[in-house]
Amino acid sequence: MALIVKKFGGSSVATPDKMRAIVQRVLKGKQPGDKIVIVVSAMGDTTDELVALAKQITSKTYGREMDMLLTTGEQVSIALMAMAFQEAGQKAISFTGAQAGIKTSDAFNKGRILELEPDRIMEALDDGNIVVVAGFQGITGHGDITTLGRGGSDTTAVAIAGAIHADVCEIYTDVDGVYTSDPRIVPNAKKMKEITYGEMLEMAKLGAGVMQPRAVEMGSRFNVPIHVRSTFSEDEGTIIKEDCSMELKQYLIRGVASDKNVAKITVLGIPNKPGYAYKIFAELAEKHVDVDMIVQSVRIAKEGVTDITFTIARTELAEAKDVLAGIRKEFPVEDILIDDKMAKVSVVGAGMAGHPGIAAGMFGVLGDKGINIEIISTSEISITCLIGEESVDTAVKAIHAHFFD
């Protein structure tokens, strides 16, 4: 008897036929006594379409109303999936995030799961149901509906798997596993048999969209093995877990990731005195704008001022601009420059520490391709370069070829 959470992404549930195919596959694989929770995303590109619909009303972000709108996508999927199971003779029940006991922080558009009370899920499972839960959503302590950030259905699935102590959380998607790079960019990328939570988290944070970073964090916290695999084939996918085999530990580099959702902001001529960096970043934080790379440089020629460059998600540029307009009124700055056509390319691998050749190799490839590096940042297990968006696919292909071919 197994307890399994299976998550199906948007492309997997894009049409009623695809939903029926999932029902058939789940029922074929189900052993008597197995308990199964299905987490689903909105059908196809529904979430993008709802975002576009809101843009026809306003260019501003009304957080609460946006979440009210976006969560409707997943609600359509759960109802249809539960009906499809029932049509096939299987007892099933659908739950929204709130009904599934998913409590989040108050941050609209990027709620964090604070608590998950799985009693209702467990009762329904004990009653012989397949339980179908809406991904990507939860509810605050005040009863407001929230979303968990784009790609958040992964996090719903892993959080439920953790809360009900599932044997495994299976993430069904349109690729058959985690690859050494996005196979849409690098067609000869290689599928990994397994990868550690740490390396997968770094890949995901640096743009490998196959898993939401918080889902990987959640898997690590509750020690739930995550199996990323294809909806459209029976092949084994990639297992994300704590410890990988010795053979895999020998890799210096595990993957190459990229992220185009990047904007660079430079604030020129800030007073070079204590407290000014704090003012800027505290106000950005208050508006929930996540700052990523930060570089501050003191100008030698002109004393008394400094320049700060930082990057944020391009999708948060409107909020950042509001904050910066406020800052200009508070204290003098020379200028604020914004470049919203930036991207990051990164190499990830737990084995790279103590191998300076990796950084040199990456920078050499970019130099050979004539790609200028604007900012470099490193962690224990990754190196990231900020470059122009127009060059990022070329950079990913060339860096991947350098390390893997």
Q: At a CB cut-off of 8 Å and minimum separation 6, what does 246 contact?
A: none
- Residue 177 is a binding residue for ligand ASP (CB under 6 A): no
Helix (H), strand (E) at residue 116: strand 113-116
Q: Render 119-137 in DSSP notation, one character per residue.
A: HHHHHHHHTTPEEEEETTE
Q: Say if CB 191 and CB 181 are below 8 A apart.
A: no
- Residue 97 is a binding residue for ligand ASP (CB under 6 A): no
- Residue 255 is a binding residue for ligand ADP (CB under 6 A): yes
Burial class (CB in 10 A: 0-12, 13-18, 19+), 5: buried
CB neighbourhood size of 277 (10 A)? 17
73 contact choice in ligand ADP, ligand ASP, Mg ion, none (CB below 5 to 8 Å, kind-dependent): ligand ASP
- Residue 213 is a binding residue for ligand ASP (CB under 6 A): no
Q: Cβ-closest residue to Mg ion?
A: 151
Q: Is the dihedral of CA 383, 387, 393, 394 positive or negative?
A: negative
Stretch that binds ligand ASP, among 95-103, 148-156, 185-193, 339-347 (CB under 6 A): 148-156
CB neighbourhood size of 143 (10 A)? 7
Task: For residues 382 and 350, give the distance between their C-alpha atoms in angstroms, rounded to a whole number.
Answer: 8
Contact string 1-30 vs Mg ion (x = CB under 5 A): --------x---------------------
Q: E strands within 148-290?
A: 168-173, 194-196, 226-230, 238-241, 255-271
Taking CB under 6 A as the criterion, the residue among 63, 73, 118, 138 binding ligand ASP is 73
- Residue 47 is a binding residue for ligand ASP (CB under 6 A): yes
Place of tokens 């002109």: 302
CB neighbourhood size of 239 (10 A)? 18
Q: Taking the complex as a whole, how short is the minimal distance between the CB of residue 94 and ligand ASP, in angstroms?
A: 16
- Residue 10 is a binding residue for ligand ASP (CB under 6 A): yes
Task: For residues 153 and 207, give the distance between their C-alpha atoms in angstroms, rounded to a whole number.
Answer: 17
Helix (H, G, I), strand (E, B) or coil at 176: coil
The DSSP secondary-structure symbol of 381 reads: T
Q: Taking the complex as a whole, how short is the minimal distance between the CB of residue 276 and Mg ion, in angstroms?
A: 39
Total of chain residues touching ligand ADP, rule CB under 6 A: 19
Give the nearer residue to ligand ASP in terms of CB position, either 80 or 305.
80
Task: For residues 147 and 63, give the distance between their C-alpha atoms in angstroms, rounded to a whole number.
Answer: 10
Instruction: Please give the residues from 1 up to 20 whose contact with ligand ADP meets the rule CB under 6 A.
Output: 9-12
Taking CB under 5 A as the criterion, the residue among 151, 162, 177, 213 binding Mg ion is 151
Instruction: Please give the residues from 23 up to 82 whose contact with ligand ADP meets the rule CB under 6 A.
Output: 41
- Residue 182 is a binding residue for ligand ADP (CB under 6 A): yes
Give the nearer residue to Mg ion in terms of CB position, either 155 or 196.
155
- Residue 42 is a binding residue for ligand ASP (CB under 6 A): yes
Task: For residues 194 and 186, give the distance between their C-alpha atoms in angstroms, rounded to a whole number.
Answer: 19
178 contact choice in ligand ADP, ligand ASP, Mg ion, none (CB below 5 to 8 Å, kind-dependent): ligand ADP
Give the nearer residue to Mg ion in terms of CB position, either 97 or 151.
151
What is the CA 248 to chain-centroid distance, rounded? 24
Contact string 133-152 vs ligand ADP (x = CB under 6 A): ------------------x-
Contact string 161-180 vs ligand ADP (x = CB under 6 A): ------------xxx--xx-
Taking CB under 6 A as the criterion, the residue among 91, 184, 279, 302 binding ligand ADP is 184
- Residue 135 is a binding residue for ligand ASP (CB under 6 A): yes
* Sheet of 291-298, strands arranged across: 291-298, 305-312, 255-271, 335-348, 382-388, 375-379
Total of chain residues touching ligand ASP, rule CB under 6 A: 13
**Residues found near ligand ASP in the complex (CB under 6 A):** 9-10, 41-42, 47, 73, 135-136, 150-154
**Residues found near ligand ADP in the complex (CB under 6 A):** 9-12, 41, 151, 173-175, 178-179, 181-184, 208-210, 255
**Residues found near Mg ion in the complex (CB under 5 A):** 9, 151
